Amino acid sequence: MTSTGFFITLEGGDGAGKTTVIGRVREYLQQQKRPYLVTREPGGIEIAEKIRSIILNPAHTAMDARTEALLYAAARSQHLAEVVEPALQQGMIVLCDRFVDSSLVYQGNARGLGVEAVRSINKFATGGLAPDLTLYLDVDPEVGLSRISANQDREVNRLDLESLAFHRKVREGYLAIAAEEPQRVVVLDANRPLESVEQDVLQVLKDRFLKDIGDNLSN
Ligand code: TYD
């Protein structure tokens, strides 16, 4: 697909602080006065929301790992078709909270389906659309999980309840992707107080990418 927009994804293990950081990035993008969209799968898209509620229901302990991977890919495809692709085609900066990398590491690495198998179903689901930039918040799983248990307001989902070993595999998976694709993936140390992480995220956007984004939008 050709587009004139700029596609950014935000990734991280559970408790990495994505939700806090995304709020700050949204404020920053607002100040830039460029057309932008902040979204997350399933993005309020009815079909994708329904798929997602099946995946994350804590009662669904019998869900097979392949089923889970296919459902994520299905929700992603719908969200792309209804939200992300139209925005990119209009030249917007799109920031998406989690994307294919989440499936590669959660389903491919941590659930053990294999990264290549999960990559291939996602290639079908996305038509090969890849982010221009991925911000990966790298957190030690023990730090991440302790943040989650300290946050009373956050709803605990089925994947939060996985073991520390599972979350370690998630982290290893992310670090492997970052090592393979250093141009696309920027690793940010998210073990620090979240204000410092936010500052770093904004610095990355300022230094490296707003120029690219600006060029991209003016073309
Ligand atoms: P999410 O609602 O984005 O929670 P968080 O606040 O941690 O970002 O994601 C819920 C869970 O779904 C999270 O544990 C990661 C997992 N997940 C996958 O396993 N595969 C995927 O493709 C996606 C998008 C999320």
Helix axes 18-32, 194-204, angle to 10 degrees: 40
DSSP lists the bridge partners of residue 137 as 12, 188
Please choose from 84, 102, 111 the residue to mutate so as to test ligand 1's pocket, defined by most ligand atoms within 8 A of CB. Answer: 102
Contacts of 134 (CB under 8 A, 6+ apart): 8, 9, 10, 11, 99, 101, 181, 184, 185, 186
- Which pLDDT score is estimated for 213? 64
C-alpha to C-alpha distance for 15 and 44, rounded to whole angstroms = 22
Please choose from 40, 106, 194 the residue to mutate so as to test ligand 1's pocket, defined by most ligand atoms within 8 A of CB. Answer: 106
Q: Which atom of ligand 1 is nearest to the CA of 15?
A: 7
Contacts of 191 (CB under 8 A, 6+ apart): 138, 139, 140, 143
Contacts of 169 (CB under 8 A, 6+ apart): 105, 109, 110
- Which pLDDT score is estimated for 218? 42
Which three-class secondary structure state does DSSP give residue 6?
Answer: strand
Give yes or no for residue 166 CB within 6 A of ligand 1. no
Please choose from 103, 104, 159 the residue to mutate so as to test ligand 1's pocket, defined by most ligand atoms within 8 A of CB. Answer: 159
219 residues of the chain, pLDDT tens digit each: 456 899 999 999 999 999 999 999 999 999 887 899 999 999 899 999 999 999 999 999 999 999 999 999 999 999 999 999 999 999 999 999 999 999 999 999 999 999 999 999 999 999 999 999 999 999 999 999 888 888 767 666 666 667 899 999 999 999 999 999 999 999 999 999 999 999 999 999 988 666 666 555 543
DSSP-derived letter for residue 160 is T
Contacts of 103 (CB under 8 A, 6+ apart): 69, 72, 73, 76, 118, 122
Q: Which atom of ligand 1 is nearest to the CA of 100?
A: 22
- Which pLDDT score is estimated for 124? 98
Taking a C-beta distance cutoff of 8 angstroms, is the pair 6, 213 a contact?
Answer: yes
C-alpha to C-alpha distance for 71 and 75, rounded to whole angstroms = 6
User: Which domains are delineated in the chain?
Assistant: 6-218 (3.40.50.300)
